[in-house]
Each structure stands twice: as C-alpha cells, then as structure tokens.
Amino acid sequence: MLHQPSNRVSILHPLRVALVGAPNVGKSALFNRLTGRYVTVSNYPGTSIEVARGSGMLDGAAVELLDTPGMYSLLPSTEEEAVTRRVIMEGGADVLVHVVDAKNLPRMLSLTLQLAEIGRPLVVALNMMDEARRLGIQVDVTRLAARLGVAVVPIVAVSGEGVDALRAMVVAAARGPSTGTPVYGNGVGTALKSLRGTLAGVYPVDPAAVAALLLQGDDEARAWVRAAEPDGGRGAVEAAERLAARFGAPAPYRVAVERQRAAEEIADGVVSAPRTRGARWVEWLGRALARPATGIPALLLVLYLGLYLFVGRLGGGTLVDWLERTVFGRGLNPFFERLFAGIPSDAVRSLFVGEYGMLTLGLRYAVAIILPIVGAFFLFFSVLEDSGYFPRLALLVDRVFKKLGLSGRAVIPLVLGFACDTMATMVTRTLETRRERVLATLLLALAIPCSAQLGVILAVFAGQPLAFGVWVLALLATFALVGAIGARILPGAPASFYMEMPPLRRPRLGNVLIKTYTRMQWYFLEVLPLFLLASVLMWAGQRTGVFAALVAALQPVVSALGLPAETAGVFLFGFFRRDYGAAGLYEMSRSGALDQIQLAVVGVTLTLFVPCVAQFLMMIKERGTKTAVGMLAFITPFAFGAGYLVNLVLRALR
Amino acid sequence: MTARPVVCGYCAREFRQDWGQPVCRACPLAGMCHMVRCPHCGYENPTPPAWLSRLTHLVSDDAS
C-alpha cells in the first residue's frame, strides 16, 4: 500500500519518540507507562499548549518521550494540532508512535497515512484492545501491518499489556528504514508526485509531506518552502496553485476524500466487528437518514413530530395556555395591577401595567409566550444534536444545496439559524467560498425563522392547516427560488463538502438537559431586557403619538395585503425583535382578529420580513455594509410582495 | 490550568473550551451567550455555566 521506503534515520542523541494521536485514545496513559518519575510539563514556546516530556529506557536504549496534544489531521484547525504538527514536522521526533483507538480503527487510519507521508520511522500502537475484545471487535494485526508497511502493536496502555513489545518495536523501527509514502488515486497521487518533484530544498521531513500540505494551501508549508527552496519557493507555490486548480474542487477536499478512500481500503477485511441486531439496525438507520429515498420521509416525520406536535402543540399550545391564562391571567397580572393601582399618574402606571406595560406585556410576552416555545424547541434541537442526526442531514441535503450554490457544510449555519439567526450569520464565515457565504447570509435573513419566531408561528398555525400549508410552501419556494437564482448570478466556484461521519448514538438525557438549560438561560437573559425595552418603546410611542404615526404610515401597506390595521404594529416590532413581532401575531390570532387567509399572509410576510436589528448588524459586520444594505433592500419589498401574492391567490381561489 | 474539553455536538470531535472564545468575542451577543465554536467544523456548542459543570463533574465517574 505504501511506496518504497526511503533512507535510514541516523541518531546522535537520545532517541526522541513522539506519541501522536486523536484526543482520548490513551496517549497519556501510554506516556505514563513508558516514562519514569521525571516528567516535565511545559508550554510549547509561544503558546499556552502543554507538552509533556519524560525519559525512559526502551529495550536498553535511552529515549526521550513526548506526549503531544491531540490531533485529527496534519492540516491543523486548532492551536493544539498546530503545536503537534510543529513538533513532528520540524524535526522534533526521531520515531512517531501513532496511538489509535482499536475500537475506531477505520476513522483513525487517515492520520496514520498522513504520518507515513512524513517519512519518519512510524509504529502504530493499537490501544484499548481490551475494550475492543469486549465489544467483539477483531483486528488482523499482521495484515494491517503489511498493508500499512509499518509495525503495528496491539496494547492496553492502562494495564501494560503489549507495552514491552511496543518498546522493542519502537527501537527496531528507529534502527530500520523510514516509512514510505502512501499512494493516492484520482489525480491526487499524480499531483503530489509532480509537486514533490519541484522541491529541491532540504527539509527536516520527507518533502512528500511538505508537498501534500502545500497542495492543500497550507500557509506554514509555504513558509517552509520559501525558506528552503533556492528560488524562494516561487516555483513550488505556483505549481501547487496550478495543480490544485485542476481538481475542480478545493484541494483539501480532494486530498481528504482520497486519503479516506485509501484508509477504507486498508481497513477493509482487517477489522471485523460483531454484527448484532442492534448494531445492524443503527448502521442501517444511519445510512437511511442520509439517503434521499428514506431520509426525506424521515426528515418530514422528524419535523412533524418534533416541530409541529412537540414545539407547536405542546410548547406553543398547552404550556403557553397554562402560563398565559393561569399564571399571568389569574395570578401575576392582577397582582401587578393591584401593586401599581396606588400610583396617581396614569403615564407612570401605564409604563408598568396595562396594554403596553413592562410587566403585563413585556414580561408576559417573554415568560408566558416565548419561553415555553423556545424551551420546547431547544429540547427538541438538543435531542437531534446529541443523536448525531445533523451530519446525516448535511449529507442528505448536500445534493439539493449544490443546486443552490451551497454545500452540505451550509447545513451548520442554516440549522443554527433555527435557534438564532444572528449567531448563525456569524457562523457563515466557516463556509469555503464567498459566494456560499453571501448566499447563506441571504437565505438566513430571508427564509429561516429563528426558534422563537418558528415556535410562535407553529403555535399560531396549530389547527389552521390551510395557513400552515401555505406558509411552508411559501418558505420552501422562496428558499429554492432565491437560492437557485443567487447561485446563477453570484460569481465564484461551486462549493464542495466532506466530513467524517460520527456514529449515530442514543441521546443522553443528562447531555440533552444541560444543553437545553444552557441555551434557554442564554436566550432568556438576552431576550428579557429587550422585551422590557420594547414595551417601554411601545409605551413611549403610544404616549407621544409616534407609534400611531408609524402605524398610520404602514397602513396602506397592510391594507394592500388585506390585513387589519393592528398588524402594522406586528411588523414594526418584528424588526426590533423577530420574536416580539411573532408574539404580537400570536396574541392577534388568539383574539380571533385574523382569518385563515390573513394568518397565512401575515405569517409569510413576517417570516420573510427584514431580519431583527441584531442580525442586521451582524450581516454588516460579516458581509460588509454594501452587501447587507443590498440584502435589506431586496428582502423588504420581496417579503411584502410575497404576502401580497399569497393574499391575491388565496382570495381568488376561495 | 487546562481548559475543560468539549465534544462537538456536530462532528463529535474534541476541542478545548477556550478555543471558541476568540471568535465569540467578535459577536455582539458575546458575554450573554454560552456558546463556543468548534474549531474543526464551526458548529456552535452550548457550554454549561460553571456551577452546572462542577455539579456534573461531582456526580460523574471522572470525579475520582
């Protein structure tokens, strides 16, 4: 599987052995077993990352051992990974011991291949063999070693099983040849070989590893090349850019896919796990959730059960009813009214109690309407999150998203948008291309309702199937239409998506409750002061007549949509806080002020309507003032136009 | 002191809680929300308040 081995390593100092691997694979347990009492833990120079060093004897040879921070890939995404990479790429280790979790071998081999590219002697320590055996997992160690071309030693670091054999293998590996370079297919291998050929400088590791990082656009690799090459690295950097451009997809994506393919080929037939009925079922379910034929019906079922029944009916119906009618209607509001009854000034009294009172309106909106709905939504969201469903959803929608100029990766901000659009807008910066970032920002502002707005709208539409159906169709059509048009007119390359699929798992109650509580606490602390402030603004607007003037100004617009005058207030405060506007809509629907058509019109318009102030500020920050204002200028008439169209069509069909 | 590790709810990879902070500081909601961004995939993960972390640590197996 690996290319021809290169030169031997000459050692003029105590053998330096670095333990490398993902977090939680038992590196530290192995480090403690291999080292003596004298261990030093210090920050890696210039960072806050701790690296432990110790000394010991391996098979009669004095060694210095390094316990490196956890890493998943040589292309680092954290400072910990960057430190580990520096340790191993800048010549800080003579032998690398890749510590892997025997229970999850196929997921770990991609890093083994990357370590093999470095060209240093490499030993794979197959740790946690006791747990693997207990689970009935068997690893054909001889075949794995033959396929990888390196020594593989099964061990149990905590008990010491196999550690003596590992000691001997590490010393033997140091005396033997270095590992060869893995060979990849589909143009990646050819590109790497060609780029490797352009490197003439002296590097502390095999130039193949430098070439791999350079091809993936790594900045540090460019710096190494600039320092080592006679022409300042210009030729190699240009060659890397030229070769990467030929892929038609981002180079890190292509390299990761080929590396994973090679890892799967190595693991095929090497690892066997018992296929219990339960394990088979989970495996099947994991695949089914990501395939269109089964995944889309499953998604609709999840949305119906979770959003419509649990959030809309239970949270928005039963819980809100109880809090509004019993807790506030019979308890708190009469109490507040009595408490402030003694205040002679009507202006001051109405600031706290009455139609726009901070306590009777602001507090009630926050606690009795928004909190139970958002709480139910966050509980549902946390269950999905803890089960490992979201990555499968990403894979499911990847194909559809590609037509909209997005990749499956965009599922992260779009899913987070259902919790908070402001936060999600910030997360769009993780998307690869500018085109994808702009499209995702626009779709978040336009067609993704935040948790509170979504919950309230679902509660409003409970028992109103026509209005609900129209709302869902309007949002889906807007998402598809705007996305497809945006993908055509916005310049830039289409996005690609690749991610390792974590296992599907049973949600843990403790995790779910902690996540729900944390999200609810954050949301409530943010929302309560704003709701109180909104009440004060409404009170001030009402006392000064400004509110009436603004409502009057919006009057022609709401009339054109076939809506009663009061809905102008809903739109007005929807911009201040989306959920505040939604809570107003909820109250109007409860009082019977809107028929089904009007509900559909106001629901569609309010959801598509301009984002709240916080989201708009975030759009400016992330995409720039020009783009954000441009989006606002598009969204506002689009939302009212869509509402107008819905009203026109539904009234014509009635 | 080493920051508590967080397992990302999306990609299931582990990262140090303080890695999300530099990004979060740029957000206008920072200070109010208890979210940290996974450096591997960008997903926003909720982190429990300190008292809840201590409580869960006390009742978990890791406490020993």
Task: Write the residue in A23, A412, A518 that is nearest to B34 by C-beta.
Answer: A518
Residues A161 and A195 in one domain: no
**Regarding predicted confidence, which is higher, A572 or B24?**
A572
Q: Establish if B46 touches chain A: CB-CB under 8 angstroms.
A: yes
A222-227 long-range contacts (CB < 8 A, ≥24 apart) are: A224/A89, A225/A199, A225/A201, A227/A201
Q: Strand A50-58 to strand A61-67: parallel, antiparallel, or no bridges (unpaired)?
A: antiparallel
C-alpha pair distances (Å), A497 with each of A251, A390, A501, B41: 12, 14, 12, 11
- State percent of chain A over pLDDT 70: 93
The CATH number linked to A159 is: 3.40.50.300
Q: Does residue A115 carry a pLDDT above 90?
A: yes
**Closest residue, chain A, to B19 (C-alpha):** A78
Domain boundary, last residue among A154, A175, A196: A175
Are both A648 and A605 inside the same structural domain? yes
- Determine the residue among A514, A520, A618 to mutate to test chain B binding: the one whose Cβ has the most chain B Cβ atoms within 10 Å: A514
A410 and A458 both lie in a single domain:
yes
The range of the structural domain enclosing residue A437 comes to 292-653
Q: Go through chain B and tell me how many residues it has.
A: 64
**How far away is chain B from the Cα of A120, in angstroms, using its nearest Cα?**
26
Give the 3-state DSSP-derived string for A529-598, with helices as H, strands as E and coil as C. Answer: HHHHHHHHHHHHHHHHCHHHHHHHHHHHHHHHCCCCCCHHHHHHHHHHCHHHHHHHHHHHHHCCCCCHHH
Q: Which residues of A touch B34 (CB under 8 A)?
A: 518, 521-522
What confidence score (pLDDT) does residue A1 get?
44
Label residue A654 by pLDDT band (50, 70, 90). confident
Residue A645 has pLDDT above 70, yes or no: yes
For residue A156, list its beta bridge partners. Answer: A161
| pLDDT bracket for residue B20 (50, 70, 90) | low
- Report the number of distinct structural domains present in chain B: 1
Higher pLDDT, A491 or A333: A333
Confidence of residue A6 (pLDDT cuts 50, 70, 90): very low
pTM here? 0.72
pLDDT band at A575 (very low <50, low <70, confident <90, very high): low
Which of B32, B36, B47, B59 would you mutate first to test chain A, the one with the most A CBs within 10 A? B32
Residues of chain B contacting A381 with CB distance shorter than 8 Å: none
**Closest Cβ opposite residue B9 in set A77, A80, A385:** A385
Nearest to B46 among A50, A519, A621 (CB): A519
- Tell whether A587 is within 8 A of chain B (Cβ): no
Residues A251 and A339 in one domain: no
A193 pLDDT higher than 70? yes
Q: In this structure, are A97 and A143 located in the same domain?
A: yes
> A-chain residues within 8 Å CB-CB of B21?
none
CA A347 to chain centre: 48
- Predicted local distance difference test score (pLDDT) of residue A3: 44
Nearest CA in chain A to B43: A412
Confidence of residue B37 (pLDDT cuts 50, 70, 90): confident
Distance from CA of B63 to the nearest CA of A (A): 16
Residues 10-39 of A with CB under 8 A from B: 22-24
| pLDDT score, position A238 | 92
Please report the ipTM that was assigned to this predicted complex. 0.80
Given B32, B43, B49, which is nearest A412 (Cβ)?
B43
Q: Decide if B1 contacts A459 (C-beta within 8 A).
A: no
Percent of chain A having pLDDT more than 90?
A: 20
- Say yes or no: A429 and A358 in one domain: yes
Q: How far apart are the first and last CA of chain B?
A: 19
Chain A segment 277-306 residues within 8 A of B by beta carbon are none
A380 touching B (Cβ < 8 Å) = no
Q: Is residue A104 part of a domain?
A: yes
CB contact under 8 A, A390 and B10: yes
Q: Looking at the structure, tell me whether residues A410 and A476 fall in a common domain.
A: yes
Chain A positions touching B49 (Cβ under 8 A) are 518, 521
Mind telling me how many Å the CA of A356 is from chain B's nearest CA?
26
CA-based torsion, A31, A32, A34, A40: positive or negative: positive
Q: What average pLDDT does the structure give for chain A?
A: 84
pLDDT at A495: 62
Q: Is residue A538 part of a domain?
A: yes
Does any CB of chain A come closer than 8 Å to the CB of residue B1? no
More confident residue, A448 or A1: A448
Number of domain units in chain A: 3
Q: How far is CA A623 from the centre of its chain?
A: 20
**pLDDT at residue A318, rounded to an integer:** 86
Q: Which domain holds residue B15?
A: 5-63
Which A residues, 509 through 528, put their C-beta within 8 Å of a C-beta on chain B? 510, 514-515, 517-519, 521-522, 525-526
Q: Cβ of A528: how many Cβ atoms within 10 Å?
A: 17
Residue of B nearest to A431 (CA): B42
Tell me what pLDDT residue A21 has: 93
Q: Are residues A570 and A516 in the same domain?
A: yes
Residue A158 belongs to a domain: yes
Rounded mean pLDDT of A212-222?
91
Nearest to A518 among B5, B13, B49 (CB): B49
A48 pLDDT tier (thresholds 50, 70, 90) = low
pLDDT at A96: 94
In sequence order, which residues have a C-beta less than 8 Å from that of residue A23 and are 6 or more positions away? A70, B5, B13, B14
pLDDT for residue A634 is more than 80: yes
Nearest C-alpha in B relative to A411:
B43
Q: What is the pLDDT of residue A419?
A: 72
Q: How confident is the model over A515-566, as pLDDT tens digits?
A: 898 888 877 776 677 777 777 877 887 788 887 788 788 888 888 888 888 7
Amino acid found at A505: R
Q: Is the pLDDT of residue A481 over 80?
A: yes
A123-127, A187-191, B49-53, range with greatest mean pLDDT = A123-127
Task: Establish if A441 touches chain B: CB-CB under 8 angstroms.
Answer: no
A42 touches chain B (CB under 8 A): no
Work out the average pLDDT over A557-582. 79
Tell me how far CA of residue A185 lies from CA of A120, A214, A216, A240, A260, in angstroms. 23, 18, 16, 17, 11
Contact between chains at A72 and B13 (C-beta distance less than 8 A):
yes
Using the predicted structure, report yes or no on whether residue A647 has a pLDDT greater than 60.
yes
Residue A643 has pLDDT above 80, yes or no: yes
Which two tokens mark A461?
């539409």
Mean pLDDT, residues A162-171: 92
pLDDT band at A493 (very low <50, low <70, confident <90, very high): low
Amino acid at A361: L
**pLDDT tens track for A59-81:** 778 889 999 988 988 988 778 88
Q: How far apart, in Å, are the Cα atoms of A134 and each of A106, A131, A138, A152, A272?
A: 18, 5, 10, 20, 13
Confidence (pLDDT) at B33: 63
Counting one residue from chain A and one from chain B, the pairs whose CB atoms sit within 8 A come to: 95
pLDDT in the model for residue A577: 66
d(CA A250, CA A432): 9
Q: Is the pLDDT of residue A627 over 70?
A: yes
Is residue A169 scored above 50 in pLDDT?
A: yes
Q: Are residues A40 and A121 in the same domain?
A: yes
Among A1-10, A376-385, A394-403, B26-35, the least confident range: A1-10
Quick one: A311 and A437 in the same domain? yes
Whether residue A180 is contained in a domain is answered as no
Residue A279 counted as domain residue: no
Q: Are A422 and B32 within 8 A, CB to CB?
A: no
Q: Which of A48-52, A443-447, A645-649 bottoms out in mean pLDDT, i.e. has the lowest?
A: A48-52
Q: CB-based contacts of A311: which residues, under 8 Å, 6+ apart?
A: A373, A376, A377, A380, A454, A455, A458
Q: Which residue has the higher pLDDT, A610 or A322?
A: A322
Give the Cα-Cα-Cα angle A285, A314, A384 (nearest 5 degrees). 25
Q: Which residues of A touch B32 (CB under 8 A)?
A: 522, 525-526
For residue A490, is pLDDT > 80? no
A403 and A431 both lie in a single domain: yes
Residue A316, domain member (yes or no): yes
How many residues make up chain A in this entry?
654
Which of B12, B28, B41 has the CB atom closest to A388's CB atom? B12
pLDDT at residue number A4: 42
Residue A283 domain-assigned (yes or no): no
Flag whether pLDDT at B62 surpasses 50: no
Higher per-residue pLDDT: A430 or A23: A23
| Domain termination residue (choose one: A108, A140, A175) | A175
Domain boundary among A209, A244, A272: A272
pLDDT band at B27; cut points 50, 70, 90: low
Q: Is residue A341 part of a domain?
A: yes
Name the least confident of A104-118, A151-165, A208-222, A535-549. A535-549
Cβ–Cβ < 8 Å for A349, A340: yes
- Mean of pLDDT values over A28-52: 77
Residue A500, chain B, CB below 8 Å: the answer is: yes
Same domain for A307 and A168? no
pLDDT, one tens digit per residue, over A312-326 is 778 877 888 898 889
